[in-house]
Structure 1
Amino acid sequence: MAWLAAGEGYEIALVDGRVVARGATGRQLKALPKALRDHPEVDRLRQLAEWLDRHAAACVAQVDGWMVSSLPVPTALLARVWRDEAWREALRDMAVVGDDPDEVGFLRDATDAGELKVVNLDGETVRLSPRTVTLPHPVLLPDLDDVRDFAAELGITQRVEQIHRATWERPEVLPANTNEVRDYAGGAFPNRFSLAARATGLGYRVSGGYATTTVRDGGRTTEASVWIGEPYYDDEQTTGGLSWHGEDGQAVRLTQVGPVAWSEGMRMAAALYAGRTIEEGGNA
């Protein structure tokens, strides 16, 4: 960003999300001079920094939403937003699939002409121009371990957790007499408030007595929910079972839960359970 005049011989700029100043000699100062701390231009830059942080977080959230739901994204849209650094950082190196569902590549660039440059699993940079692409959930990627190994060789890092996202596969044999999973039930928390705070801190929605996450899986919207206790319950609270419900609110049989909905529900339950109180000592 260009340096802006701020009076008294100082100039200011936004560097790495922080307002910095330099004096008449052009040397950047270690801290803002007292004379600039309440300057209107400094305040405007701080507001801009806050907006940029919110914008970057919104871009990451949107890309994560596309990936979790495996929604088709117009290639022209990716090309249009690619000019924006926040969008570019969120999208770069995401695994994408075009017209051929078996051809996975890591997104490296998007041109104004609507063409995508990706590195395929053979290590070659290829150009794609499908009408839409998907950013597949990792549980849907064939040979996920090979994809992860190849990404490690390339030194790929992703702003949106995709290829290294923890995944769970639905067991082939499931209990016939239950609609819930209790693998992560019984995690103790000091009270309901702390459990709800963990859920919201992880990005999950709290509604009534449940922590929930909604997934679009195979064209069907499914909500996974974990019981976290009645609101305003002050005594110790434990995590309950995990279940899934359709758009009509009806429980979904475990055998009918889609692969993405299963994985994301189990991921939520495991993340909540990981914050439980762990006893120490001989009686633990």
Structure 2
Amino acid sequence: MSEKAAKKMPAAGEQRIRLLSYNIQSGLQTASPREYITKGWKHFFPHPEKQENLDLISKLVVDFDIVGLQEVDAGSLRSSFLDQTAYLAHRADFPYWNKQVNRNAGPLAQYSNGFLSRIRPMETHTYSLPGLPGRGAILVDYGEGDEQFSVVFLHLALSRHGRLRQLSFVSDLIASRKHIAVMGDLNCPTDSGSLVDFMAKNGLKDATCGAPTYPSWQPVRKIDHIFLSDSLDTDTPHVIDFPLSDHLPVSVDVVLPFKLNESIPD
């Protein structure tokens, strides 16, 4: 992959990193409850709409530095055998990207998480989350040592019991890390007991605005999140009015401290 679009980190001063999280529903737009039924077949079969929506999504993500993606297809019948994470990385000129297949239905479907990055990761780890099969986490470390910036990309279970087990697992993953971002479709609101406890245990704060993200056509629930360590300052949180899925994307600018800048390679 070309490094021409890699994020250039200055040797001094503060640096803003733009984060975005988006459940893209494999490129399928849903504009009403009725369309879950009338367009449901498109979840399993290819359709030109998905390609068109991916091209529009690529124009959204191009303005960000680190992007977390949920419900991307890794290349199967329903996506016309297109690796959607790789496609978005190419279209938006992200030099670094990776994916994690969580539900492998062979040639029929490849349900995945993914991320795009303009900053070179030092390490990338993928984990299967506890509970019913099909949920995973990607942990990406930028920099090394005490001044490391770590990002966890998640898509949590629908059940409360499953989410509790998964959040406990993630807590263990990030316990030794100082500067952390946790982002994704967490399938529960910020004020749910499981998230309140998770944030308190790990010294995290809700970095996005309080606006709801789901369903995209008439949002009433905030279930898509970006959490950040208390050590990190934030600016310009948004829920973006971009209804090309059944979720809306969330974004925030992170202000990195000077030492953290130095630890992230150009």
Q: TM-score, normalised by structure 1?
A: 0.24
Q: Flag the structure with higher helix content.
A: 1
Q: Flag the structure with higher strand content.
A: 2
Higher relative contact order (CA 8 A, sep 6+): 2
**Higher Rg of the two aligned structures:** 1
Q: TM-score, normalised by structure 2?
A: 0.25
